[in-house]
Structure formats: C-alpha cells, structure tokens
A and B are shown apart, each in its own frame.
Chain A
C-alpha cells in the first residue's frame, strides 16, 4: 500500500537510488533504413551521429518498454515493485489516450497499490521535467518511493516517407527510482523553461496524409505523424541550452568545472558537441549513446546516466548535470550529487 506521508522531514535529500533500462530487441541499422527511406548511412553518421537504433516489436508498446525498465530498476535496488508508492510515466506515446500508461505499467509490473499518472512534457524534455515532479513528491514526504518511468515508441509515429524524424529516433525506456537520501546528496537545484514559439519545430502533428497514389497513409498513431525541422532544433539547442545550463549553475553557485559529468539529451551527436563547445567543456566529460540508440526521447538522459554508472564514469559523490530539451520548445536542467547505496535506507530483507 502507498505509504503516504511516510517521510515528512524536509532535511533529507532526494536521491536516484537506481536507474533501470530497456531497449527493444530489434536493432535497425542505417543500412536497414536505406532499404525503406531515401537516405544514406554516411550522411546520417556525418550529420546526426546515429549508427543503429532499437525498434519496438509488433505488439510491443510503451507500457511494455516502461514495465521492463521499472522491473530492472527494482532489481538493481533489491526491492519489489509492490513496494513502490507512486509510478509516474513520462511519455508522449501512450498505449491508449486514457487511462494513463502508468496504469498498465503498475498492472504489468505488479506495483499494485502504487498511485499512477502520466506526464507529457513534450517527449525529450521529460527526462528532467518528469524527474523533477517525482523528486518533489519524495521531498514533500507524500510518497516514499517513486518510480519515474520514461518510455516512448517514437518509431510508431513515423511516416516512413519522411526521413527527417525517421533517421533520428529510436525506441527505448528508462526508470528513475527515487527515495529520500542523505542530506546534501541527490537531486539539487533544477530549472525548467518553455518557449512556445518553437511549437511546430519538433512535434507529432495531427493531419491527414496520403501516398502518391492518393491512398490514405497512417502511422502507428493514426493521423498523427512525427515531424521535425532539424535546422530550427539545432539553432534552439545550441543557441539556448548552454546559457540555460549556465543559469542553473549560477543559481547553484557552481561552475562548469565543478561538474564531473554532463548528461545531455541525445538529440543529435553534433548538437551535444555544440553545447559542450559553447560551455567550454571537453567531450571527455560526457557520455553519449545516440550512436547506438538514436534519440530515445525522454529516456535518453537516464539511459546516459545508467551507461555512465556501468562504465564507472559516475561514482557516488560526483556532481552530474542533467539537461533535457526539445519539443515545446522546452528545456529542463538539474544538478545531482550522485548517491551510493549507503545514502539510502537499506532494502528490506525479503522474507
């Protein structure tokens, strides 16, 4: 059952106890895309940086990806899904328009008793927006253990005649498992911002589309199609995100040199490099996965964190800066002092 009000103190921090992940089994290379799209492997590598991406199997939906990521997070933390109090699912590709996909994640994972709802903060920015919401519930003490599941099946929104989104996106999921932690550790200052002037720059557009022969065309979401103005997104990301990151660092009285790892949204390899160049940060202080996974929407930042942890690039006590940005335009950034197991209450011993 939900342990509402279990941690009412404000002196504790909110930490990321574990990050779970799931990538669908099917891997699609650029050469595979050349078979169905008018595009080229060498161009994609040179301009986007993607080499392969994962694609959900037929019948595999957002809740399946999210459930697998949640179960992985619970396993890493040594807890049962039944011990979760709140499940927030960050997605723009819900299994159905309602009920929330979080309901299916709760049902499929066995997190029965947890409260659940979805957050649609515009796909990619969700990696920080949804995390911030979950962290605030833990901070107030309303919920003790919160799973923030980031899951999307972006490839289902594709019009496979339109290479702009199709060469960039991949499917994937990740899950932040949040709990109270040692004061001074965990999630610190966060900053969220939105600018609706970029509404049409990267979006899932509702419109009727037809093939050249006049027959109706639909995506996995019917008359909804992923659409992207790459030039506008690049200009926004490299133009706005560095100063936004600096603003967060200023508010927290930190400098770029105080950040051990930059976990940036995997929009495009050259956008990541452009942001770091603007910040004067060497590429060695980031980890990228866009080469293998493409742009996995809101899951990309937690997938970077998980990978960094597995590589030994993110250790307890390290300061990491998370930045997620995109559709909206919206951008979110957070400073996190990474936790180790000793920063959390021990997991209960299974009886």
Chain B
C-alpha cells in the first residue's frame, strides 16, 4: 500500500471514529459500512459529509450510495473509481 493510500485510509478511520466511535482496529479495506461496521443510512451520510470536508471533494448522493465499503471509498477518493 502506498503512503497516499495509508493516509486516505487513516483519515477514513478517524472519520468513522468521529461519527460512530468505531475503533480503528475494527476497520479494514474489506469492512462494509452496513454489515461489518453496523452503520445506518444516516450515519453513512455523516461519514460522507466529513469525507467531503476532509478531502475537499464533492461526493454526490448517487456515488456514495454505491460506496458500500471502506475499500471502495478509498479507491473512489484516490482514483475516482466508482463501483458498477
């Protein structure tokens, strides 16, 4: 994993701690927001509000609806990959 990726994941972990007090050790690239991290839809919105603020990017509703895991969010932020 590159330094850039680590930074992105690290910031995402901080956001998940702030929104839902999820310990960093529970979070991996494979973690899904709903099944693994037990976030509801409102909490996921909160995560993406902070993602927009911290990363300075616009994440439209249609995009974050498809970003269902930590890994897909990291790929989106780093490479603008949008899952099908």
Residues of A at the B interface (CB closer than 8 Å) are 34, 37-40, 42-43, 46-47, 163-164, 167, 212, 230-231
Q: Which of A34, A46, A212, A230 contacts B42 (CB 8 A)?
A: A230
A43 lies within 8 A of B45 (CB): yes
Given A40-B45, A163-B45, A231:B50 Cβ within 8 A: no
B49 CB to closest chain A CB (Å) equals 4
Chain B residues contacting A167 (CB-CB under 8 Å) are 42
Residues of chain B in range 1-34 having any CB-CB distance to chain A below 8 Å: 18-19
B interface, over-half SS: helix
Q: Is B46 an interface residue (CB 8 A)?
A: yes
A163 touches B61 (CB 8 A): no
Interface size of B by CB at 8 A reads 11
Which chain A positions have C-beta within 8 A of B40? 164, 230-231
B residues 33-84 touching A (CB-CB < 8 Å): 40-42, 45-46, 48-50, 61
Assess the B49–A39 pair: CB atoms within 8 A.
Answer: yes
Q: Provide the residues of chain B in CB contact with A230, threshold 8 Å.
A: 40-42
Residues of B within 8 A of A212 (CB): 18
List, sorted by A's number, 9 A–B pairs whose CB atoms are closer than 8 Å.
Answer: A37-B46, A39-B42, A39-B45, A40-B45, A40-B48, A40-B49, A42-B61, A164-B40, A230-B40
Q: How far is the CB of B33 from chain A (nearest CB, A)?
A: 14
Contact across chains for A38 and B50 when beta carbons are under 8 A apart: yes
B46 touches A39 (CB 8 A): yes
Task: Give the residue among A37, A43, A47, A164 with the most B Cβ atoms within 10 A.
Answer: A43
Chain A contacts of B49 at CB under 8 A? 34, 38-40
Closest to A42 in B: B61
Q: Are B61 and A38 in contact (CB under 8 A)?
A: no
A40 to B48, CA, bound (A): 9
Closest chain B residue to A39, Cβ basis: B45
Docked-complex contact A38 and B19, CB < 8 angstroms: yes
Residues of chain A within 8 A (CB-CB) of B48 are 40
Q: Is the CB of A164 within 8 A of B45?
A: no
Residue of A nearest to B46 (CB): A38
Q: How far is the CB of B39 from chain A (nearest CB, A)?
A: 12
In the docked arrangement, what's the CA distance between A164 and B19, Å?
Answer: 13
A14 CA / B42 CA spacing, docked (Å): 43
